[in-house]
Structure 1
Amino acid sequence: MSRKLPTEIDALIAELKPDEASSTPLYIQLAENITDAIRAGRWLPGEALPPERVLAQSVAVSRVTTRKAVELLIDRGILTTRQGSGTFVARPMEHPATTLASFSEEIRARGMTPGSKWLSRELSIATPEEALSLGLAPGTAIARLSRLRLADDEVMAIEVSALPSRYLPDPTVLEDSLYSYMRGQGTAPVRALQHIRAVNATERQATLMGVKPGLALLYISRIAFLPGGSAVEFTRSYYRGDRYDLVSELSRGTEVRGAPAVDFAS
């Protein structure tokens, strides 16, 4: 629900009206006007926009024009829809590049409700990539967890985690947070190595996320380690590029003793 008074909403909607004399299509004008209002702080993240019918009547355009403008902004990640609730200003998500935290911890820190939708929880044989990342011999058994990660019931990422089976002998006991379970078992990681690159959503990934194929995704592969240095978790995550920003804090010392190592993995 919007926190604005009806008079405030009416005044704001009036400012969104497209210019019929302009050569720019009305739906693009409307989309740009809504974007400008959001960037100016007139509509805040999480606030609801008026229903499509109300918005169309208020700015004197057709519902088809309004629908095209809203769909364009959803594709751009500026707006989001919740089934049965309406259209809302999207909350931009930031993924810290310097903090080892679970997805659930990150989402709660932003005042949202984390969730998961399991795709599979199984014991299997490690793939060559999983065995290499976890320092395991070929043919070693692992626990593999595949799931959708949600924030306020909206799919944000696809995540596939692999652990040596000795750390999770029965994957079906895991209900939600993997790191909460690992803390309870005394096997929580203390550091991790991440590789990050951009990829495009495949047909299957797009279907699972409810987005268009080819959407830019932020792919993060992470190997997490125990205090003794053993690899305990190998996770591959595909975050929606229209909802996530990668954030890191950099500092420069008084002396520069060589350039940092940068891995441009492809």
Structure 2
Amino acid sequence: MSQNRVNTLFGAPDTLREKGIPLYIQVKKSILSAIAEGRVTGGDTLPPERDLATYLDVSRVTVRRAIDELIKDEVLTQRQGAGTFVSERVEQPLNHLRSFTEVMEARGKTITSKWLDRSLGMPHEEECKALKLAPDQEVVRFYRLRFADGKPMALELATIPSCYIINPFAMEGSLYDLLEQQGCRPVRALQRLRAVSIDEQRANLLDIPQLSAALYIERTGINHEGTHVEFTRSWFPGDSYDFVAEIRDTL
């Protein structure tokens, strides 16, 4: 990366000499400004630490500390052997009921999936509770790893009462599209979100370190007749999403 390119992204070296402010914080602020102003965007690679340190006339230890803090803040991410990247975060509103496919396609991303399980069976206890089923009512399970532009973005385990899915092996794309074809697409949902430490198996699938912070979401979808037709559990990399909700004062 040329010196001019570093200058364009992060400003002239003399801007990193604010009195009373540690140098690593000034480097950190410079990177954040470059992201906020669109000079680097999600997925872009940062210059090598050595180049930044030389150009900004600071030590590599200073640059490393700034980058480490931004990785901790999930602004940056590192891929072994590939470098340091600006995190690609997807902003997803919580006040609109949308499928993974709809959210990603609205952002111009190409959606692919890897099937981990597609089966018919008896419901587990939590599935009976969520879907208001008797223990002898069959369900269909769809478990898949979802990709956007080739990057693992979600693990999704969906359970649907079998009466709503005529042929589970015919589904390839959006679950909500299939449910809409069957006349039972959810029109509202109950969602529960919490942070979890990802286990080794799911971490390997999502290509993130074991015990990384991940977002776990349970969704129970309800159709226009008030019937519970979907129970989906999803795991999302913690550095890939911002979930946004509008909150109003009802007083």
TM-score range normalised by the length of the shorter chain: 0.7 to 0.9
Alignment of 1:208 with 2:200, yes or no, is no
State the TM-score, normalized to the length of structure 2: 0.78
**Residue matched to 1:243:** 240
1:44 aligns with 2:41: yes
Aligned to 1:101: 98
Q: Secondary structure at the match of 1:149?
A: strand
Partner Cα separation in structure 1 for residue 182 and residue 50 of structure 2? 53
Q: Render the CA deviation track for 1:140-197: whole Å, top value 9, x for unaligned.
A: 2111011122222211221110001121243221112111112222221111111222
Q: Evaluate the alpha carbon distance shift between residue 249 and residue 47 of structure 1 in structure 2; reply closer, same or farther with a 3 A threshold.
A: same
Structure 1 residues 16 and 231, CA gap change in structure 2 (3 angstroms): farther
> Structure 2: how far apart are the matches of 1:81 and 1:51?
12
- Name the CA shift for 1:241/1:206 in 2 (closer, same or farther; >3 Å): same
Work out the CA distance in 1 between the residues paired with 2:79 and 2:183.
Answer: 38
Q: 1:59 to 1:189 in 2, by over 3 A?
A: same
The residue number in structure 2 matching 1:176 is: 173
Kept in 2, the 8 Å contact 1:14–1:58? The answer is no
Counterparts of 2:198 and 2:77, CA distance in 1: 18
Q: Name the CA distance, whole Å, in 2 between partners of 1:209 and 1:153.
A: 11
Q: C-alpha distance in 2, partners of 1:181/1:82?
A: 36
2:13–2:55 Cα contact (<8 Å) kept = no
The correspondence of residues 133-172 of structure 1 with structure 2, limited to 5 A, is 133-172=130-169
Separation in structure 2 between the aligned mates of residue 63 and residue 113 of structure 1, nearest angstrom: 38
More off after superposition, 69-78 vs 158-167? 69-78
Q: How does 1:1-266 map to 2 (within 5 A)?
A: 7-12=4-9, 15=12, 33-50=30-47, 73=70, 76-80=73-77, 88-253=85-250, 256=251
**Aligned residues of 2:195 and 2:215 also touching (Cα < 8 A):** yes
The number of residue pairs the alignment matches comes to 248
Whole-angstrom distance in 2 between the partners of 1:85 and 1:73: 17
> What amino acid is aligned across from residue 180 of structure 1 in structure 2?
D
> How many angstroms apart in 1 are the aligned matches of 2:71 and 2:51?
18
> Are the equivalent residues in 2 in contact too, given 1:143–1:169 (CA < 8 A)?
no
Q: Which amino acid aligns with 1:110?
A: R
Percentage of matched positions with identical amino acids: 43
Flag structure 2 segments of 5+ consecutive residues without an equivalent.
none
* 8 A Cα contact 1:143 1:164, kept in partner: yes
Root mean square deviation, CA, Å: 3.6
Quick one: structure 1 residues 63 and 168, their matched pair in 2 at CA, closer, same or farther if it must change by over 3 Å? farther
The 2-side partners of 1:37 and 1:128 are apart by 50
Instruction: Provide the rounded CA distance (Å) in 2 between the counterparts of 1:246 and 1:13.
Output: 29
- Read off the aligned partner of 2:212 and give its amino acid letter: L
| Structure 1 position 8, deviation (Å) | 4.6
Q: What CA distance in whole angstroms lies between the structure 1 residues aligned with 2:81 and 2:96? A: 35
